[in-house]
Chains A and B, each alone.
Chain A
Amino acid sequence: MKKKPINFVISGLGGQGILFMTKILARTALHKGFKVMGAETHGMAQRGGSVVSHLRLGDVKSSLVKAGAADFLLALEENEAYRNLPFLAEQSLLCSNKSSGNFPVPEVEGYLSNASIACHSIKAGSLAFELDAPMSTNLALLGYFSTLDRCPFTLQELRTTIEAMSPAAYKEINLKVFDKGARES
């Protein structure tokens, strides 16, 4: 019996750094010895539209996560979290940025608990904004995600990848935002 793959869906809006976030996760996984397949959105949808990327760790042939088969949904925006709920498997985990105090809305909360889907959220956007890095919501959310028990990577593993992948001018601020996200847990 082959080992079950780990499926990620990462969602948000064009310009929020979905691709960078996916790359960080992918590289960390590669370092840990996983086989990795990813699928990205390019082109017209990048102009402010909904953007989704898929990441699959393990022995898989296709880069696409099947609806109902994601172990993790990382969302950079509330509505993009809701929109991609059908990807989540039962007993999976949702980790989302939120801007309101009303996340998730009651009907979604009910659904998540019925399907035993764990829901974790932080105000990653305002956190990044406070550090004067509004484009780094992705890193704040990743920092937070890294502290969750079910995250397949440790905080240090993700941090090392971010350090290696960030351009020199952004290294310090990127790590700062990531660390702040991690402290929110």
Chain B
Amino acid sequence: MNEDFLLGNGAIALGLLEAGCQVVTSYPGTPSSEILPEVVRLKKADNLKTYVEWSTNEKVALDNAFAAAITGKRTACCMKQVGLNVAADSLMSAAYLGTVGGMVIISCDDPGPHSSQTEQDTRLMARLAKVPVLDPATPQEAREMAGIAFDISETFGIPVILRPAIRVCHARQNMKWSALTDHPAKALFKKDPMRWAATPKFRFRLHQELNRKLKNISRHFDSLQPFNGHNLEPGKHYPLGVISGGVPYAVIQDILSDAGRDDIPLLKLGAPYPLPQNLADEFVAACDKVLVIEETDTVIEYLLRDRSKVLGRLSEDVPLEGELVPERIEHIISQVLSRMRLLPLNIQAARDVEDLVAGLDLPIRRPTLCPGCSHRSAFYTIRKTRPKAIFTSDIGCYTLGLNLGAVDTCLDMGAGITMASGLYHAHAQDEVQQPIVATIGDSTFYHSGTAGLLSAVYNDARFVLVVLDNLTTAMTGMQPTPGLGIRADGSQGKTIPLERVIKGCGIDFLEVLDPYDIKGMRQTLKQAFDYTKKPDGGIAVIIARHPCIIAYREQAVANRIKVTISDDCIACNHCIERFECPALYHDPVREKTGIDQALCIGCGVCLDVCPKGAIIEMNIK
């Protein structure tokens, strides 16, 4: 028997493998990133044959998993909620076609948001695509639901979405499990072009079939214990009931149990869509009002039939945005109870501690690039070279180039390039030569850079593109990229260098440099700008390559340079504000910049940053 204090994402990985999942594909993104590495860890421990891959993006991951599922195998693909947007095209169509083997799509939500561009609710995507969705409350439940999802998928021939929220993905719980074994299913693709290559006429029939499946699944969900159910006492009527699912359900259980409020019944909908209509009707009928508390958007609330009884977001009892943390939920329930003239929850008298903390004027801790991060020197140099340029950027650690004033836009994956193209044409139309620098990371470029770059080259946009290549997918936890060629299980795959891909996109100006060399990079940037202005020029691409200092601690800073501040420092704060290294601070005693030696990793890049030359190497006479 194995035992571990598993991360929710580890629990999901375990649930997948316990159910005999044979293929797992993914593209990393918080809060989903750890699922695939945990699958790899568990598969290696028990020597399973499970096929794993980091796909280049979420659509690729979904397509691959779908293809394997229609051979009769159990498959899964994992992504963050905005990744499902990228895979939406695939999802909508896969719902119509249905599957043969079980297929689970894991899309992790980020209410808050903590590490995402939106707070979107995957359950809405499930509704849009018309596929069932499961919403776990705890890691243990996520593990169980991963297994049940395959059964539902195979029984009804439909992909199933599992949507754990961040508080499940990054919660930890103790788990025990027995040795895992391989599922015996072999790939058997039965040709059926009317289905797998269905034309619009057949799509209409598939849509009818899909709607029939949903009706049946709704009935199945009426009795899907213990994920769907309520604690009504037979024959009893209640003034107020609460309906919830997922993380808020667990929180509400704690709140009501701590308060000893068994007078408030609870309907749990861990499988909220398609809504188990009979179960929901039964609960609503036993209550005068029902309060729906769901995260992050409005799904269950809209689907309840007796509108006259429903309280929630539409009645403005539940906030429209933000994470439903315990104290917020407690407040919501208590307010509704008070308004209905029922006994409110016994919330401790509001203390003045929030005001006290606000009054302390605590430093705002914005996320920052690490000391020694090569993105910092790249951004510093880009901004220094063309301060009036528009800086379009992308999604990754380097979004933090914001702090250096070298990121003006961040829309979605790949938009560093496409926004640059759009901004160019908007200005060129007015005959304005607007300098534009696009930045994008290596992994993001492989994810969705090429289509935008092809289009920009084809349509003769002019801008400088800097690909920030730190040889890893840093923000999400150091996953490998096609540029490295290392695969998800650690084996060596084929390496596809950025240079080859970029040239293949029709780029004629391509330079590779190390952004630690500020002077060299300035020179190259100037040449690049010149090239964009030439009539026969085009888009100029620079690969700024330097290993991530977290992933490659030793190689990243080969020669450590101890730096110090000379008396020439006039405390102009140029280095602190423009270079923004966490190791640089204002020393009020010396009235100069100081170097925090505990944070400094000795990259020595700041030696070239001070306009007075006051950042110097230690021990040099």
Q: Which residue of A lies closest to B371 (CB)?
A: A48
Q: A26-B5, A60-B254 in contact; A111/B356 too (CB < 8 A)? A: yes
Query: Is the CB–CB distance between B174 and A86 below 8 Å?
Result: no
For residue B385, CB closer than 8 A to chain A, the reply is: no
Query: Is the CB–CB distance between B170 and A108 below 8 Å?
Result: no
Query: Is the CB–CB distance between B170 and A83 below 8 Å?
Result: no
> CA A38 – CA B173 in complex, angstroms?
7
Among A46, A62, A108, point to the contact of B326 (Cβ < 8 A). Answer: A62
For residue B501, CB closer than 8 A to chain A, the reply is: no
Query: Is the CB–CB distance between A62 and B254 below 8 Å?
Result: yes
Q: A36-B172, A62-B326 in contact; A48/B582 too (CB < 8 A)? A: yes
Query: Is the CB–CB distance between A40 and B114 below 8 Å?
Result: no
Q: How far is the CB of B107 from chain A (nearest CB, A)?
A: 16
Query: Is the CB–CB distance between A43 and B351 below 8 Å?
Result: no
Chain A facing B: main interface SS: mixed
Among B7, B30, B251, B354, point to the contact of A64 (Cβ < 8 A). Answer: B251
Query: Is the CB–CB distance between A61 and B254 below 8 Å?
Result: yes
In the complex, chain A residues whose CB is within 8 Å of the CB of B255:
66
Query: Is the CB–CB distance between A48 and B171 below 8 Å?
Result: no
Query: Is the CB–CB distance between A63 and B327 below 8 Å?
Result: no
For residue A131, CB closer than 8 A to chain B, the reply is: no
For residue B413, CB closer than 8 A to chain A, the reply is: no
Q: Which residue of A lies closest to B172 (CB)?
A: A38
> CA A41 – CA B114 in complex, angstroms?
9
In the complex, chain B residues whose CB is within 8 Å of the CB of A111:
352-353, 356
In the complex, chain A residues whose CB is within 8 Å of the CB of B369:
47
For residue B451, CB closer than 8 A to chain A, the reply is: no
For residue B589, CB closer than 8 A to chain A, the reply is: no
Interface size class of B (residues with CB under 8 A): 35 or more
> CA A10 – CA B353 in complex, angstroms?
18
Among B138, B348, B362, B366, point to the contact of A49 (Cβ < 8 A). Answer: B366
> CA A85 – CA B254 in complex, angstroms?
22
In the complex, chain A residues whose CB is within 8 Å of the CB of B138:
37, 61-63
Report the number of A-B residue pairs with Cβ-Cβ less than 8 Å.
141
In the complex, chain A residues whose CB is within 8 Å of the CB of B356:
85, 107-108, 111
In the complex, chain A residues whose CB is within 8 Å of the CB of B179:
none
Query: Is the CB–CB distance between B326 and A64 below 8 Å?
Result: yes
Q: A48-B367, A63-B138, A83-B357 in contact; A41/B171 too (CB < 8 A)? A: no
Residues facing B in A8-43 (CB within 8 A) are 13-14, 23, 26-27, 30, 35-43
Query: Is the CB–CB distance between A105 and B348 below 8 Å?
Result: no
For residue A151, CB closer than 8 A to chain B, the reply is: no
Q: A36-B174, A62-B326 in contact; A47/B365 too (CB < 8 A)? A: no
Q: Tell me the count of chain A residues lying within 8 A, CB to CB, of chain B.
A: 46
Query: Is the CB–CB distance between B170 and A64 below 8 Å?
Result: no
Residues facing A in B36-76 (CB within 8 A) are none
In the complex, chain B residues whose CB is within 8 Å of the CB of A23:
5
For residue B158, CB closer than 8 A to chain A, the reply is: no
For residue A68, CB closer than 8 A to chain B, the reply is: yes
Q: A44-B475, A62-B253 in contact; A82/B167 too (CB < 8 A)? A: no
Q: How far is the CB of A178 from chain B (nearest CB, A)?
A: 19
In the complex, chain A residues whose CB is within 8 Å of the CB of B115:
42-45
> CA A36 – CA B330 in complex, angstroms?
22
Query: Is the CB–CB distance between B368 and A47 below 8 Å?
Result: yes
| 14 more A-B residue pairs beyond the given contacts A30-B174, A47-B475, with a C-beta to C-beta distance below 8 A | A2-B257, A39-B170, A40-B172, A43-B30, A49-B365, A62-B167, A62-B326, A63-B138, A63-B171, A63-B173, A68-B348, A82-B360, A107-B359, A108-B360
* 28 residue pairs from A and B, CB less than 8 Å apart: A2-B257, A35-B174, A36-B5, A36-B174, A42-B115, A43-B30, A43-B475, A45-B367, A47-B370, A47-B397, A47-B475, A49-B368, A60-B254, A61-B138, A61-B251, A61-B257, A62-B247, A63-B172, A64-B326, A65-B326, A66-B330, A68-B348, A69-B326, A82-B362, A86-B353, A86-B357, A115-B353, A134-B598
On A, residues with C-beta under 8 Å from B are 2, 13-14, 23, 26-27, 30, 35-50, 60-69, 79, 82-83, 85-86, 90, 105, 107-108, 111, 115, 129, 134
